[in-house]
Structure 1
Amino acid sequence: MAVPASIVPFVIIFVTTNVTPQDIFAVGLFPFMAAAFAAVTRIMLQAYRFKYFIRKFIGQDISSTGRTMAARLAGEFVTYTTPSYVGGEFVRIAWMSKQGVPPGKAAWVATMEIIADVFAVTILGFIAGALAIMKGGTTIGITVILLALPTFLFWFIVIVYSAKRNMQVPMFIVRIVERFAQKKAEQYIGQVNKALGDLCTMSRENFASSRVIRPFVVGLAITFASYVAYGVSFLVLAETIGSGIGLFDSLMAVAASNVVGNIPITIGGSGLTELGIWAYVSNLSTIPNFEEIAQDSKLNVIIAWRIASYHVPLVIMWIAIMKLAIGKKPAEAAPS
């Protein structure tokens, strides 16, 4: 479902503009492969951060490095195939719980990953937005800042609130669950509230201790490194048309596109991500018309980048989630 949905914007571009599949392939095989490699490096760094957080916050490895990173990639498949890049944390929590990790601790690891991602992308988004405004790109600059601000504030409030008192499932959600799952509603809500309570307990214990600072800073550094790799994925393709865009500008462009792609409208930010990066590299100062977008020579590079940075990693994530879903076949019983 995600792949066909993500291809729709490309089809629209091919039909309504002068861009053709041949233009996309014109970027060259080596630059495309280099961009794809950089994009895969990004998700591998995120997978390693997951393993690092498990070791630091749980106190030990719960599986081999390969299996742990594969579980992170499997969760990322869900993240990449839902609006607003959400859902992967539930896969990771379920996997950790299956390995014997208490739900509260599993939720804590997932939450720290989310916070690291949110802090990295919003901080980069604020910088990108401010720089765009300074360069005259008021429309894209203000848009990026306004989109990044609510996400940053929400998670900041969650951190502060959870460190002071326990969170519980809101009553309006309880009523919805009771309406659709009358018999098991109490059991489900109880399990979720217990996990939230354990999470808040972990939050109070960790935020009151200096032990959490170093692991989180290291995790945040890994997250920023993953975004540098993301920036490289666009840089190598932008160089094929002599755009003159440097690494820092590429990093700012992909950060802005990520913020715009987080709007929960399309699967995996399809269409929005491309629009966001086009608007940023074009230093957009007004509301663009369709003809202006359609005639831009950067479209072929942007589409090639999207394929390299989204569809190629998606294949790797799909393999990971299939392995996680199928698992090892049980050994056949020895003949008597």
Structure 2
Amino acid sequence: MNWRLVAIPVTLIPIFIIAIQFDIQLDDLLAIGIFPFVGAIIVMMIKLGLQGIKFAYITRKYLGSFDSFFKLTGVRIGSEFIKFTTPMFVGAELVVIYYLHKKGVNPAKAAWIAIMDIVTEVFAAGLLSIMAGIIALLNGAYVVAAVILAVSIVITSLWMVMFFLSSKRTFQVPKILENLTKRFGKEKGAKAIKKTNTWMEEVCTMSRENLKTPESKKIFTISFLFSLASWSFYGISFMVIAMGTGFVISSFDSIMAVMGANAIGNLPITIGGSGLAEFGIVAYLNNLDPFAFEISEDIVGWNSVIGWRIATYYVPIVITWLLLVKLALSKISKS
């Protein structure tokens, strides 16, 4: 976990490059104003709170009242720290699986709950990003649209296909990976493969037992709506920041710009999408031209983009870290 703390300062490098390249001073950031900045933080925390509530809802629907609703919400919010500190938005599901297993939940059931949570998250984000890509395409921003659509369609399709196929077939570790693991890991590698295959078989069994039931369909639908709402608040956070600099943008356009940037930020290039998300917003809003980063008077300023990044990444990363350590990684007694 310590390497993640070291990785956080690395995410500042693209910010410094942008600030130096476009002569962004501290006064430019302060010009945003305290109220828009605090407002954006509050909106971002609402986004994270909705994610936490969704996870608590899914968990208690499948497991009953085995744990505090507020604690489950906090654990899910804390798990976002892992996503903030990885190249690509992955890893949060590992935290919740770990937490549920430590509480005595069967690993397969814990994995199923985590998968239901992450799939609805990816599906909602994917749909919004695809909408943003289509709008960019219709406006002639072919490069921006191509990147957004390629990333969104691939990631969304992969998750959804794997999710629904899990109810029809049993997945196992691919033979190539199995052979390599056994060759280099010897006996330990063989045991790891066997354990992984057993776990995947149990998860697929749970998928067959639950996915087609009316209750699970209801849980999926409600969770998906929660995810749409949470991602919408993420988009609105930029609108709040932009208001501080006098840049007027509608909530819909703000959501589309942020979700398009979010898709670009999902490229596994930088930690937490640092730099990619910022350039993605400007590319989307600056006449939808990915190569015209010199911003005119009528276009959102770089200070708004950097201020948005601080409010929706660096402040929440502290909060999620505290919740992760306090709740998810603390000593847990099995109920």
Whether these two folds match at TM > 0.5 is yes
**Pairing of 1:73-152 with structure 2 (within 5 A):** 73-152=77-156
CA gap 1:162/1:134 in 2 versus in 1, 3 angstroms: same
Query: What's the RMSD between the two structures over aligned residues?
Result: 2.1
- CA drift at 1:182: 2.7
Residues 130 and 253 of structure 1, relative CA distance in 2, 3 Å threshold: same
Q: Distance in 2 between matches of 1:294 and 1:15?
A: 18
Verify the 8 A CA contact 1:14 1:21 in the aligned structure 2. Answer: no
Q: How far is 1:124 from its partner?
A: 0.4
Contact 1:17–1:294 (8 Å) recurs in 2: no
In 1, Cα distance between equivalents of 2:329 and 2:101 = 17
Task: Say if 2:20 is the partner of 1:15.
Answer: yes
Residues 147-186 of structure 1: CA deviation (Å, up to 9, x unaligned): 1111122112202321111111112222343345333222
Equivalent position of 2:257 in the other structure: 253
| Offset at residue 243 of structure 1 (A) | 2.3
Q: CA deviation at 1:116?
A: 0.6
Aligned to 1:273: 277
Q: CA deviation at 1:217?
A: 0.9
- Kindly provide the amino acid, as one letter, of the partner of residue 149 in structure 2: I
Question: What is the aligned counterpart of 2:220 among 216, 221, 230?
Answer: 216
Name stretches of at least 5 consecutive residues in structure 2 with no aligned partner.
1-5
Change (3 A) 1:150 1:325: closer
Alignment partners' CA distance in 2, 1:15 and 1:59 = 52
Deviations 1:72-105 (CA, angstroms, capped at 9, x unpaired): 1232111110011111111111111111111111
1:327 is matched by which residue type in structure 2? S
1:304 to 301, 307, 323: 307
Query: Is the counterpart of residue 231 in structure 1 residue 247 in structure 2?
Result: no
Q: Deviations over 1:194-245 (max 9, x none)?
A: 2211111111112222221111111111111111211221111111233221
2:318 counterpart of 1:323? no
Q: Is the 8 A contact 1:38 1:230 kept in 2?
A: yes
Distance 1:164 1:325 in 2: 33
Q: Which residue of 1 aligns with 2:59?
A: 54
Give percent identity, aligned residues only. 38
SS class of match (1:62) = coil
Give the Cα separation in 1 of the matches to 2:323 and 2:296: 37
Task: Indicate the residue corresponding to 1:4 in structure 2.
Answer: 9
Q: For the structure 1 residues 325 and 123, does the alpha-carbon distance in structure 2 shift closer, same or farther, using more than 3 Å as the test?
A: closer
Q: Number of aligned pairs?
A: 327
Mapped partners of 1:126, 1:325: distance in 2: 33
* SS of the residue 1:84 aligns to: coil
The answer to whether residue 181 in structure 2 is matched with residue 169 in structure 1 is no
Q: Which of 313, 316, 334 lines up with 2:316 in the alignment?
A: 313
2:48 — aligned with what? Answer: 43
Which segment drifts farther, 294-303 or 19-28?
294-303
Shift in alpha-carbon separation, 1:45–1:274, aligned structure 2, 3 A: same
CA distance in 1, matches of 2:330, 2:192: 26
Shift of 1:5: 1.4
The one-letter code of the counterpart of 2:23 is N
Deviation at 1:16, TM superposition (A): 2.0
Distance of 2:161 and 2:185 partners within structure 1: 31
- Aligned residue type for 1:322: V
SS of equivalent residue, structure 1 residue 327 = coil
Which whole-Å CA distance do the structure 2 matches of 1:148 and 1:65 have between them?
A: 32
Q: d(CA) in 1 for partners of 2:328 and 2:146? A: 42
Residue matched to 2:206: 202
Deviation at 1:65, TM superposition (A): 2.0
Q: Taking structure 1 as reference, are residues 21 and 176 closer, same or farther at Cα in structure 2, changes over 3 Å only? A: farther
Q: Which runs of 5+ in 1 are unaligned?
A: 331-336
Q: Which residue of structure 2 lines up, in the alignment, with residue 334 of structure 1?
A: none
CA 1:328–1:110: 2 relative to 1, 3 Å: closer
